[in-house]
Amino acid sequence: MRGLYIGRFQPFHLGHQAVLERIALEADEIIVGIGSAQASHTTSNPFTAGERLAMISGALRKLGKWFYIIPLPDLERNAVWVAHVRSMLPPFDLVYSSNPLVIQLFSEAGIEVRKPPLFRREVYSGTAIREMMMAGDDWRALVPPGVVSVIEEVGGVERLRNISQGDRPF
């Protein structure tokens, strides 16, 4: 069985990893779709698709499963989004997502979606981690060590703090 897990991963954190470990119990192969792949350098999407890909790959290697990590640029047309996603991915049997729109769109297309149990969502949340980064709080314990390395290498915290003062080009 091949399972698809879709998220934005801004950044990838231990909550995401717990979901992946859960999916690994059910699926033979895992596809991770990186949503809003075209976005970066904004307060809600600070990291590029390539940076997020580097964050995720470490975690996936440890699962001992065949996996794919695929950037999925937004199409701005919800009505064709499922067809768009399917054309970019190898065939999959099941979608894991807790995003209401993703669930709705796949359900209308007749594709089964499972809502993974969220792992301590009040702590492990991209929004919360980005806020900690901007506030100068310690976010490192909330993500895998490999993610810390990627973020430090690209100067991610400084980037986020700078653009938090204005993330529109002008």
Indicate whether 95 belongs to the interface with its own copies (CB under 8 A): no
**Nearest Cα to Cα of residue 8 among 64, 63, 46:** 46
CA distances from 19 to 5, 6, 9, 34, 53 (A): 9, 11, 12, 15, 17
- Would you say 63 and 73 are in contact if contact means Cβ atoms under 8 Å apart? no
- Would you say 130 and 10 are in contact if contact means Cβ atoms under 8 Å apart? yes
Of these, 14, 27, 49, 147, which contacts its own copies (CB under 8 A)?
49
Indicate whether 125 belongs to the interface with its own copies (CB under 8 A): no
Distance separating alpha carbons of residues 165 and 27, to the nearest angstrom: 42
Of these, 4, 24, 82, 129, which contacts its own copies (CB under 8 A)?
82
Q: In terms of CB distance, is 53 or 142 closer to its own copies?
A: 53
Indicate whether 122 belongs to the interface with its own copies (CB under 8 A): no
Determine the interface stretch with its own copies among 11-19, 82-90, 130-138, 140-148 (rule: CB under 8 A). 82-90
Indicate whether 116 belongs to the interface with its own copies (CB under 8 A): no
Positions 129 through 158 that interact with its own copies (CB under 8 A) = 155
